[in-house]
Structure 1
Amino acid sequence: MSLIDSPHASVGASVTQAVLHAAQRLGLERGALLAAIGLEESQLADPDARVPFAIQERLWELLGERIDHPEPGLALGQHLAPGPFSVLGYLLQSSPTLSEALAAGLRYQRLVGEGGELCLEEDAEALRLIYRPLHPGRPATRTRVLALMSFWVRMMAPLLDDFRLLRAEFGHPAPAEQAAYRELFACELRFCAADYALVLPAALRDASLIQANPPLQQLLRQHAEALLARLPSESLVARVVTLLGAQLAHGEPNRAELARTLHLSERTLQRRLAEEGSSYQQLLNDTRRQLAERHLRDGRLPAAEIAVLLGYSEPSVFFRAFRHWTGLTPGEYRARYAAQAGRAAPTDGS
């Protein structure tokens, strides 16, 4: 179970409003869309209300079918407006620097929706803003994620004097026609990537935003905290998965330390996980497997380094575990994925 894979996942009504407005600008009839997904106008009256993610996903599916464009998501993203994204959109725009804006986006992302997880990876050269969608294999996901990535570029560009992307990465195969991608992202394009991501120069980390307004940001942050507190709490499984991911970066996870972080005894932790149909060891194995497969698909790290990142004391222990999970060695898994990606999309479109 992932951080967001829950039947109770929802999105902000303001996001649904923004998507519907964009669809109208592209010639679709709002009433017909609402009727098709079973949503009433009254459910969207409060911008801080919530809409079940399953309904929002059905809306994206319809838009992917009905918009006459090679990439409906890119077309939609060009018509999404920051305003309807309510408090988070204004909070990002009023932040003093890009790093503070990104920090706010990470903390308050659930206010916008729970259809994916936004992450940030940083090194000396780049900021990698990653979006890991719920249900990555569904047809609606491509439309949705492309719209979000397009919108993020349109929102960030006016806020920074020297905005540019180093690279844009996409989890789907390269399309035959890439002109819309090149025009929008204006950077190297990578398809069949391990994640959907926008990669920015590290020099932009501390760049000042043109619309910075610290007093307004403080007020908006207080409102965002109040809204966040009203959302249903994450399951214990989700919280454990998050902590395991953080601990794995520093070696073998420590169950006792994790339990203390959650203000639980180890016995209570085991019992409550069992009540949610899971266990500590199962979550550790699942987290390691997901991270291992992601690193191997990405192709940048040797298997021995991946073993260290996943907290294994010896690469051989990792190799045995990976073979148990998949029936393949890490090298065989990487070669198979590379062959599949090569058949699907041999070009990066840059």
Structure 2
Amino acid sequence: MSNILHESSQASVSASLTQAVLHAASRLGLDRQALLSVCNLTDQQLTDPDARIPFSVQQTLWHELDSRLQHPEPGLLLGRNLTPGPFSVLSYLLQSSATLGDALSAALRYQRLGGEGGELHIETRDDSLLLLYRPLHPQHPATRIRVLAMMACWVQMTRPLLDDFRLLGAQFRHAAPADLTPYQDVFACPLQFASDDYAIALPRTLSQAPLIQANPPLQQLLRQHAETLLARLPSASLSARVIGLLGEQLAHGEPDRAELARALNLSERTLQRRLAEEGCSYQHLLADTRRQLAEQHLRDGRLPAAEIALLLGYSEPSVFFRAFRQWTGLTPGEYRAQHGAG
């Protein structure tokens, strides 16, 4: 299910991401308290790494950083000084993935945990993998510094995780600056300006490349926590909140629709009606969630199919096997042979 861009009055961002930006600014010599004051933020608002702040407030922070940092491209400077640790669950989830492809799938599913300032899209083109970012309000004065910081941070974070990391190209919406050196230092690839999107192109073969910090047990815990956080986002559609709660319930066995409706303060009938208004149903969302989790477990290759069936709330493995063949046209064993991480 594709994410929906929210109006800036509703959109929010992770407090931990805001904290990381402030840490980077402090390392670059800026006064943290002065920045907090300009944005009407307090340290208490950023203490909980899972808290949220309005996207408009963080835009004010980016705009202030753009004016205070003396650098030809402040976004790239900030991105190179952002550390992934303060990003909390999302960055750890990506780094502990089995392969780059798994990390990108997680980034797509959980991107709203970082912030709702835009949408990530992934497209396959011939021998390349294109990561496109479409920001909310692309003409906003703070968008350039924000997106460049994100792109630079992503490259800095990913490079140490892969033995053969390299970029095929990078695209930017703005016109080419006079000095390309900051861009070449970060991306080390052909650059294209005045493009329709911000984007990074990778060799398609890197999708199956194993990540150095892969950690399956940690990954399982982080995904459960990420599903919980996703379901709690106030601006989430009902279907997105249902998917998050299903992810939680499936970790404990067969999902319970009545319990899920109660968690949303809805009756079962109202739940069904409102999901229908969004063009889906409880059963459809349950099947999609089970399929996604099943494919993830099979690609990881560490659990037998019968155990995966139990994890997904099936009373009998045979029921799971029939469902999986209907979804993919393959048995779990055939899927693992084709897509497993070995």
What is the TM-score with the length of structure 1 in the denominator? 0.67
- 1:29-68 correspondence runs (5 A): 29-68=31-70
Q: Whole-Å Cα distance in 2 between the matches of residues 215 and 41 of structure 1?
A: 33
Correspondence for 1:161? 163
Q: Whole-Å Cα distance in 1 between the matches of residues 204 and 107 of structure 2?
A: 17
What is the CA-CA distance between 1:207 and the residue it aligns to?
Answer: 0.3
Q: Whole-Å Cα distance in 1 between the matches of residues 229 and 212 of structure 2?
A: 26
Letter in 1 for 2:101: S
Aligned residue for 1:78, secondary structure, equals: helix
Query: Which of 242, 253, 264 lines up with 2:276 in the alignment?
Result: 264
Does structure 1 residue 146 correspond to structure 2 residue 158? no
Q: Whole-Å Cα distance in 2 between the matches of residues 234 and 15 of structure 1?
A: 19
- 1:274-293 correspondence runs (5 A): none
Does the 8 Å CA contact 1:171/1:192 hold for their aligned counterparts? yes
Q: Whole-Å Cα distance in 1 between the matches of residues 6 and 107 of structure 2?
A: 16
Does the 8 Å CA contact 2:11/2:235 hold for their aligned counterparts? no
Query: Which of 177, 180, 183 lines up with 1:178 in the alignment?
Result: 180
Q: Whole-Å Cα distance in 1 between the matches of residues 163 and 12 of structure 2?
A: 35
Q: Whole-Å Cα distance in 2 between the matches of residues 233 and 9 of structure 1?
A: 7
Q: Deviation string for 1:153-172 (max 9, x for gaps)?
A: 00110000000000000011
What is the CA-CA distance between 1:264 and the residue it aligns to?
Answer: 2.4
Q: Deviation string for 1:84-113 (max 9, x for gaps)?
A: 000010000000000000000110011110
What is the CA-CA distance between 1:7 and the residue it aligns to?
Answer: 1.3
CA RMSD after TM alignment: 2.1
Correspondence for 2:91? 89
- 1:319-334 correspondence runs (5 A): none
Q: Whole-Å Cα distance in 2 between the matches of residues 203 and 162 of structure 1?
A: 10
Structure 1 consecutive aligned stretches of length 4 or more whose deviation exceeds 3 Å: 233-236, 260-263
Q: Whole-Å Cα distance in 1 between the matches of residues 274 and 94 of structure 2?
A: 30
Q: Whole-Å Cα distance in 2 between the matches of residues 76 and 261 of structure 1?
A: 46
Letter in 2 for 1:264: A
Correspondence for 1:210? 212
Correspondence for 2:334? none
Which structure 2 segments of 5+ residues have no match?
A: 242-271, 280-342
Does structure 1 residue 115 correspond to structure 2 residue 117? yes
Q: Whole-Å Cα distance in 1 between the matches of residues 37 and 185 of structure 2?
A: 34
Q: Whole-Å Cα distance in 1 between the matches of residues 273 and 99 of structure 2?
A: 31
Correspondence for 1:80? 82
Q: Whole-Å Cα distance in 2 between the matches of residues 133 and 195 of structure 1?
A: 9
Letter in 2 for 1:135: H
Letter in 1 for 2:276: L
What is the CA-CA distance between 1:261 and the residue it aligns to?
Answer: 12
Does the 8 Å CA contact 1:13/1:44 hold for their aligned counterparts? yes
Paired residue total: 246
Q: Whole-Å Cα distance in 2 between the matches of residues 158 and 51 of structure 1?
A: 30
What is the CA-CA distance between 1:6 and the residue it aligns to?
Answer: 4.1
Aligned residue for 2:202, secondary structure, equals: strand
Letter in 2 for 1:196: Y
Aligned residue for 1:199, secondary structure, equals: strand
Query: Which of 11, 34, 41 lines up with 1:9 in the alignment?
Result: 11
What is the CA-CA distance between 1:123 and the residue it aligns to?
Answer: 3.0
What is the TM-score with the length of structure 2 in the denominator? 0.69
Does the 8 Å CA contact 2:15/2:46 hold for their aligned counterparts? yes
- 1:235-314 correspondence runs (5 A): 263-264=275-276
What is the CA-CA distance between 1:72 and the residue it aligns to?
Answer: 0.4
Q: Whole-Å Cα distance in 1 between the matches of residues 7 and 99 of structure 2?
A: 32
Correspondence for 2:330? none
Does the 8 Å CA contact 1:130/1:196 hold for their aligned counterparts? yes
Q: Whole-Å Cα distance in 2 between the matches of residues 124 and 31 of structure 1?
A: 49
Correspondence for 1:309? none
Does the 8 Å CA contact 1:4/1:117 hold for their aligned counterparts? no
Q: Deviation string for 1:189-220 (max 9, x for gaps)?
A: 00001100010000101000000011110110
Correspondence for 1:103? 105
Q: Whole-Å Cα distance in 2 between the matches of residues 166 and 77 of structure 1?
A: 20
Which structure 1 segments of 5+ residues have no match?
A: 240-259, 270-350
Q: Deviation string for 1:222-259 (max 9, x for gaps)?
A: 000011111024358x99xxxxxxxxxxxxxxxxxxxx
Correspondence for 2:197? 195
Q: Whole-Å Cα distance in 2 between the matches of residues 135 and 84 of structure 1?
A: 26
| Identity among equivalent pairs (%) | 63
Q: Whole-Å Cα distance in 2 between the matches of residues 136 and 199 of structure 1?
A: 20
